[in-house]
DNA sequence: CGGCTAACTTAACACCGTTAACCAACCAGC
DNA sequence: GCTGGTTGGTTAACGGTGTTAAGTTAGCCG
């Protein structure tokens, strides 16, 4: 039974995840229900529970994939520039781009977590931290090379991150004055986040 | 009894709002249902609909009160200092303090909006803008007095706001590395938000 | 062939927001 | 003092939710 199954594994799980993500993106969070996912793939709702303990677990899996994807993007951004200031800017733009390109994913990853879901398991959270570490490493490099001022690393990383997160989440929530154009806004955010760090001036 | 009712008006609406807020704070968003609110005040669930069109409308009323409260705090902060840099710092700390002191309120005001609720009516939104205007006015003052560098006002206001919002929402969502202490973190956020603006250096 | 197991389904529970229909108490006018 | 309407509340019900328990079907192994 599991003779060939070892490689094929269980495609239903994948199908559930893909359908859930697709449904999330196309119809939005509120209309994403177990029954709807099941109906979309032609199974009964309860069969989802054969692959996920509950709805939260399904979301956590979705979040996992989101973090993996974000990490890929940040790694690519990180490799696109060597000089710390440029690299940090590239990371920042990569982060913002990810958020804007995947609003629903960003939402379940960072936004509507605490109130609506069981806590995201701490172990999975390391994946999320990996992305942050790229920021931290770049800061450290910059400090070492003299491009950045001396600073306590962890809080400084969090400050940069929170500036980016604030900007992304306000835009995603449509909270920004519509007269403000996005691109200049994000440029200003990134510039504002980097400015206090740069040693030169 | 109803002879004097003209002045007492309808305390039920108030009772609903207070109970809803209390329930939201004490038990969290997910367990806040119409039936639960009703039960808590000893009425039937449907009687809530005599005072609110639906659950969204109830939340919007809650949000309204949240914005009014935030505005009060920001006004007080704004009056606590005259010099633009100090005033801006006071505003920033007021904003952060409000978020930390009223996490559930902050959540429904800024966090879980887009996906879960009908759009917050644009008219009510002016109330929210009022708070932002205090930031904007302070920036304008600072530019005029020479304390701040020249800048496009609206985007700059949004940048400051998004830095604060990012920090507050990350902390509320418990997303921050636990080794980072909050107070220094917020100080760094405020400093980081102000630094690019200040003219002197 | 008989039995075991894995994959899946149907039925049901307790809850949700919301609507429709009903009811009791009060006030106005005759 | 009785009648009729309005006000403020109720109960019952609909269609939806996540989730669990029990049942069913198919395939493999001895």
Torsion angle of the four alpha carbons A26, A30, A31, A33, in this order, in degrees rounded to the nearest 10: 120
Contacts of B185 (CB under 8 A, 6+ apart): A155, A158, A159, B167, B171, B176
pLDDT (tens digit, 0 to 9) for every residue of chain A, 201 residues total?
Answer: 333 333 444 589 999 999 999 999 999 888 899 999 999 999 999 999 999 999 999 999 999 999 999 999 999 999 999 999 999 999 999 999 999 999 999 988 988 666 677 788 878 888 888 999 999 999 999 999 999 999 999 999 999 999 999 999 999 888 888 899 999 999 999 999 998 899 865
More reliable by pLDDT, A125 or B114: A125
Residue B41 and residue B15 in contact, taking contact as beta carbons nearer than 8 Å: yes
The span from the CA of A70 to the CA of A98, in Å, is 7
- What average pLDDT does this structure show over B140-149? 96
- What average pLDDT does this structure show over B110-132? 80
The span from the CA of B66 to the CA of B51, in Å, is 19
Instruction: Please report the pLDDT score of residue A110 as a whole number.
Output: 87
Contacts of B69 (CB under 8 A, 6+ apart): B98, B102, B105
Q: Which residues of B touch A180 (CB under 8 A)?
A: 154-155, 158
Backbone phi, psi, residue B198, to 5°:
-65, 135
Which pTM value belongs to this model? 0.90
**Tokens 């001036």 -> residue:** A201
Residue B35: count of CB within 10 angstroms of its CB: 11
More reliable by pLDDT, B7 or B20: B20
Helix (H/G/I), strand (E/B), else coil: B42: coil
Q: Which residues of A touch B (CB under 8 A)?
A: 28-30, 107, 110-116, 129, 152, 154-156, 158-159, 161-167, 169-170, 172-177, 179-181, 184-185, 188-189, 191-193, 195-196
pLDDT band at B67 (very low <50, low <70, confident <90, very high): very high
Instruction: Please report the pLDDT score of residue A30 as a whole number.
Output: 86
pLDDT tens per residue, range B26-43: 998 888 999 999 999 999
Which nt has its C1' nearest the CA of A55?
Answer: D18
Chain A residue whose CA is closest to B118: A30
The span from the CA of B168 to the CA of B186, in Å, is 9
Q: How far is CA A138 from CA A67, B57, B163, B175, B177, in A?
A: 19, 46, 20, 21, 18
The span from the CA of B74 to the CA of B94, in Å, is 6
Instruction: Please report the pLDDT score of residue A201 as a whole number.
Output: 55
Chain B residue whose CA is closest to A129: B177
Among the partner-chain residues A162, A172, A188, the one whose CB lies closest to the CB of B167 is: A162
The span from the CA of B64 to the CA of B52, in Å, is 14
Contacts of B150 (CB under 8 A, 6+ apart): B143
The span from the CA of B155 to the CA of A191, in Å, is 12
Chain A residue whose CA is closest to B162: A166
- Is residue B177 over pLDDT 50? yes
Three-state SS string over B120-141 comes to CCHHHHHHHHHHHHHHHHHHHH
Residue B182 and residue B93 in contact, taking contact as beta carbons nearer than 8 Å: no
Report the gap between the CA of B2 and the closest CA in chain A (Å). Answer: 41
Q: How much of chain B exceeds pLDDT 70, in percent? A: 92
Instruction: Please report the pLDDT score of residue A115 as a whole number.
Output: 66
- Is residue B88 over pLDDT 60? yes
Pick from A113-117, A162-166, B89-93, B119-123: least confident: A113-117
pLDDT tens per residue, range B43-54: 999 999 999 999
The span from the CA of B96 to the CA of A69, in Å, is 31
- Is residue B1 over pLDDT 60? no
Instruction: Please report the pLDDT score of residue B128 as a whole number.
Output: 82
Instruction: Please report the pLDDT score of residue A114 as a whole number.
Output: 65
Residue B5: count of CB within 10 angstroms of its CB: 10
Nearest to A146 by CA among A108, A200, A183: A200
Instruction: Please report the pLDDT score of residue B114 as a whole number.
Output: 65
Backbone phi, psi, residue B134, to 5°:
-65, -40
The span from the CA of A73 to the CA of A134, in Å, is 11
Residue A3 is classified by DSSP as: T
- What average pLDDT does this structure show over B94-117? 87
Among the partner-chain residues B152, B172, B196, the one whose CB lies closest to the CB of A192 is: B196
Torsion angle of the four alpha carbons B103, B105, B107, B109, in this order, in degrees rounded to the nearest 10: -140
Instruction: Please report the pLDDT score of residue A173 as a whole number.
Output: 84
Q: Which residues of B touch A27 (CB under 8 A)?
A: none
């Amino acid at each position: 039974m599991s003779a060939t199954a070892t490689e094929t594994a269980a495609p239903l799980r994948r199908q559930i995840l893909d359908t859930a993500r697709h449904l999330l993106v196309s119809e939005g969070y509120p209309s994403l229900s177990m029954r709807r996912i099941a109906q979309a793939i032609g199974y009964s709702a309860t069969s989802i529970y054969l692959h996920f303990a509950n709805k939260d677990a399904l979301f956590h899996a979705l979040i996992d994939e989101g973090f993996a994807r974000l990490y890929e993007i940040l790694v690519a951004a990180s490799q696109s520039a060597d000089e710390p200031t440029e690299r940090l800017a590239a990371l920042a733009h990569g982060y913002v781009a990810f958020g804007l390109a995947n609003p629903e994913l960003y939402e379940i990853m960072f936004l509507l977590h605490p109130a609506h879901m069981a806590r995201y398991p701490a172990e999975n959270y390391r994946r999320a931290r990996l992305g942050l570490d790229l920021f931290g490493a770049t800061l450290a490099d910059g400090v070492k090379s003299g491009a950045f001022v001396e600073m306590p690393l962890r809080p400084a990383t969090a400050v940069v991150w929170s500036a980016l997160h604030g900007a992304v989440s306000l835009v995603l929530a449509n909270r920004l004055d519509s007269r403000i154009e996005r691109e200049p806004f994000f440029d200003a955010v990134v510039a504002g986040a980097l400015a206090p760090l740069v040693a030169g001036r």
